[in-house]
Chains A and B, each alone.
Chain A
Amino acid sequence: MTDKSEVQTCLYRQTLLAGLWRENPVFRLLLGMCPTLAVTAAVKPALTMGCCVIFVLVCSNIIVSLMRNLLKPHLRILMFTLTISTFVTIADLFLKAFVPDMSETLGPYVPLIIVNCIIIGRAEACASKNRLAVSVIDAVGMGVGFTLTLCVLAGVRELLSTGKIFEVQLMPDAFVPCAAMSMPVGAFITLGLLLALVNMITKKEA
């Protein structure tokens, strides 16, 4: 009995940690590139986007996991999209009502979470095959992993383009801000360099 619960705890921990590093959606699976490149000019929008993704991911995994035995194989993608779009619309309405400025900054990228591969990928790969608890833990792990990655990327870009993070001056006065870092070119360069860094670390680990 103890063995069984230990195995279960171990499985939960592994599922949670997988999203953070081993199967990190951005750095390891290269999923969800559109928001990764588009909303990481500053940390605040990146954090908001991450929170929205966590909310949608957890809710859609719960629903998909609950109805996994009722799903008809050829209609499953349709059901996933329907579930995801419902929660994205709700998240979008909440942003518009409570943080209107942030909603404007994120613009179309909130509705675009509907086609974010991470969410539909987790519904297909995990929630439609696993119990509720595993699906929720997987969603939290993947969501937090995605949010952290976005924040790291946004942190680097915001720091180099303005010298500030969260309105706090971090760079010395002599620092010359590089406006290009807040533009798409900065997103591609930072993402490329971070991916190279992650690959270097994982190669060393192996």
Chain B
Amino acid sequence: MLKIKHFIQQSWLLIVASFCFGLLIAVTDAALSPRIEQNKTNKRNRLVGALLPGTKDFIPLETEITIESLRGKKEKIEVYQAMSESGKCVGWSFNVAGPGFADKIELVVAVDKDFEKLSGFDVLASNETPGFGDQIKCDYYRDQFKGAPAEQLNLVPSGDPKKIDDEIVAISGATISSEAVVEIISNSITQIKDQMHEKELIGNDRQE
């Protein structure tokens, strides 16, 4: 009994303060979380909207798509169908992440409606070296992906970046960052494509 009394005497302030502070954080979070979620959706839509022109709305795919990430873990991928104003499918987009040079790289990837060609990608979050690795955000690197086949891509040290094929020319001085993007996209896109075919979400027999 004495022990409990001693414990309460010593720690009552800590217990009361933890409760009050917890409540304060909960209230702030409840008030701000819709806005934070909205910000995230807006950013994604803005980036994908630029990659898939004519998009009006994004519909999350109900079917579950799981891929094996580059680190060998199973990851659930949220795939969105981009719809035009007239209700036609413009393309697909999904978010993927993988290891970069300094930190995790998070990408949003857009693909055409048949999952045949990439419409491009954009960087949601990264922490690559300024001036070198962060050039993965630059147009001259990203433009190589626009129209590239939606399958395994290869990184080449030199070549013509304007030629659109499955060969992506690395950024000089930032091979690891360039490779990371190519690997993240190749790894996810091949698996997602297979599963979409399996689940008959895309394919020749499907009418839009």
Contact = CB atoms under 8 A, between A and B. Distances in A.
Nearest to A67: B13
B198 to A, nearest CB: 36
Contacts of B197: none
Interface size range of chain B in the complex: 20 to 34
B131 A179 contact: yes
Given A100-B39, A107-B127, A75 B14 contact: yes
Contacts of A100: 36, 39-40, 43
Contacts, number: 56
Interface of A: 41, 67, 70-72, 75, 78-79, 82-83, 86, 89-90, 93-94, 96-98, 100, 104, 107, 179, 182-183
Interface majority SS on B: helix, strand, loop or mixed? helix
Given A82-B14, A94-B32, A183-B130, 19 more contacts: A67-B13, A67-B17, A70-B13, A72-B10, A75-B10, A79-B17, A82-B17, A83-B17, A86-B25, A89-B25, A89-B28, A90-B24, A90-B25, A90-B28, A93-B32, A93-B36, A94-B28, A100-B40, A104-B125
A107 B129 CA distance: 15
Nearest to A104: B125
Interface majority SS on A: helix, strand, loop or mixed? helix
Contacts of A72: 10, 13
B44 to A, nearest CB: 12
Contacts of B68: none
A83 to B, nearest CB: 7
13 contacts: A71-B13, A75-B14, A83-B17, A86-B24, A89-B25, A96-B36, A97-B36, A97-B39, A100-B36, A179-B130, A182-B130, A182-B131, A183-B129
A179 B129 CA distance: 11
Contacts of B21: 82-83, 86
A70 B11 CA distance: 10
Interface of B: 10-11, 13-14, 17-18, 21, 24-25, 28-29, 32, 35-36, 39-40, 43, 125, 127, 129-131
Contacts of A75: 10-11, 13-14
A82 B24 CA distance: 12
B28 to A, nearest CB: 5
A107 B131 CA distance: 18
Nearest to B25: A89
Contacts of A179: 130-131
Contacts of A86: 21, 24-25
Nearest to B103: A107
A183 B14 contact: no
Contacts of A67: 13, 17
Contacts of A104: 125
5 tightest A-B CB contacts, nearest first: A86-B21, A97-B32, A179-B131, A97-B35, A100-B39
Nearest to B131: A179
A183 B131 contact: yes
Contacts of B40: 100
Nearest to B27: A90
A78 B14 contact: yes
A182 B129 CA distance: 10
